[in-house]
Amino acid sequence: MLNLQTIHKPTTIVDALMLLTQSGVVALGGGTNLIAEKRRDVRAVVDLSALQLTFIETRGDGIAIGATTTLAQVVESVALCDAASGVVTQGARQTHANILRNQATVAGTLIAEPDGIFAVVLSALDARVTRAFLENDAVAQQEIALADFFAQREMFLHNALVTHITLPAESLKRHAAIETVARTPSDKAIVSVCAALEMENGIVRAGAVALGGVADTAWRARDAEREILHQGLTDDVLDRAAMAATSALHPSNDPSVSLRASFRGSAEYRTIMARVLTARALRGIRG
């Protein structure tokens, strides 16, 4: 933010949304990504921290996590540590080192790192995203599935704010596991997988397999999900699901810098690791 002149700190969502209609004005969550980006087009930011959007609440339809809740608060949440085998807690912990977790927010992380481990976990749990926007000068709300949010995020966020993310009640009961591969244990994952399954007597009744590091955003491996649905997690089923996880995938070589491509992994490497990690995650749930 090399040309930043003003920091607004509204206390109501309507004021925040009015400010965001001006050009060169963007939302500020924890600021960790915005500051690192050094954008020249940002003239003013709207600090969201006074909007009462910091909460983790158990509601009738699941658990709602407010947009400005930090990843540290997610890690510390008792409600979330018990949900879906603790993968939300684990995903938040694996996103950042301790110091950045205190700053980075849930919404900022989903927007800045849509293929990161936190996005992958939320995708596997069928999370829904709610935005606030202005309609006839009043605040309106809209909730959409995370996959739709990723597909339409520019339009969805135009003159709008993410207010919270909902983890549906049924997904919180799933048995889940995360598997990642990175250069070092604390480094950002090159490929990540989260599987979250509803099991009954050893049979998969419903569930999701989400991958990160293979597309621009967290990606649902629908073919793998079909392979395991109504099946027991036998070795054969696991092998078929692992192969199917990448059947519709064309992971790109990291296009940004050629050096990064060599250490962040080629398309072939990501494809193979996506299969290996899918099998490991499913085996983890079986175990």
Considering the complex, state which of residue 85 and residue 105 has its C-beta at the smaller distance from ligand FAD: 105
If one asks whether residue 188 binds ligand FAD (CB under 6 A), the answer comes out as yes
Considering the complex, state which of residue 96 and residue 174 has its C-beta at the smaller distance from ligand FAD: 96
Mark 153-174 as b/e (b = at least 16 C-beta within 10 Å).
beebbeebbbbbbbbeeebbeb
- Which pairing describes strands 191-200 and 203-212: parallel, antiparallel, or unpaired? antiparallel
Closest CB 96 distance from ligand FAD, rounded Å: 6
Q: Which one of 75, 84, 157, 191 is in contact with ligand FAD (CB under 6 A)? A: 157
CA atoms of 242 and 282, how far apart (whole Å): 9
If one asks whether residue 111 binds ligand FAD (CB under 6 A), the answer comes out as yes
Mark 187-210 as b/e (b = at least 16 C-beta within 10 Å).
ebbbbbbbbbbebeeeebebbbbb
Closest CB 105 distance from ligand FAD, rounded Å: 3
Region 6-65 residues binding ligand FAD, contact defined as CB under 6 A: 26-34, 36, 48
Considering the complex, state which of residue 26 and residue 81 has its C-beta at the smaller distance from ligand FAD: 26
Inter-CA distances, 283 with 41, 182, 237, Å: 47, 20, 10
Considering the complex, state which of residue 160 and residue 224 has its C-beta at the smaller distance from ligand FAD: 160
Contact between residue 193 and residue 277 where contact means Cβ atoms under 8 Å apart: yes
Residue in the shown chain whose Cβ atom is closest to ligand FAD: 108
Rg (CA), the chain: 19
Closest CB 207 distance from ligand FAD, rounded Å: 23
If one asks whether residue 162 binds ligand FAD (CB under 6 A), the answer comes out as yes
Neighbours of 107 (CB within 10 A): 26
Region 58-97 residues binding ligand FAD, contact defined as CB under 6 A: 67, 95-96
Closest CB 206 distance from ligand FAD, rounded Å: 27
Closest CB 131 distance from ligand FAD, rounded Å: 7
199 DSSP β-pair partners? 204
CA atoms of 194 and 119, how far apart (whole Å): 10
Closest CB 235 distance from ligand FAD, rounded Å: 32
CA atoms of 41 and 22, how far apart (whole Å): 12
Residues in touch with ligand FAD (CB under 6 A): 26-34, 36, 48, 67, 95-96, 103-105, 107-109, 111-113, 116, 157, 161-162, 188
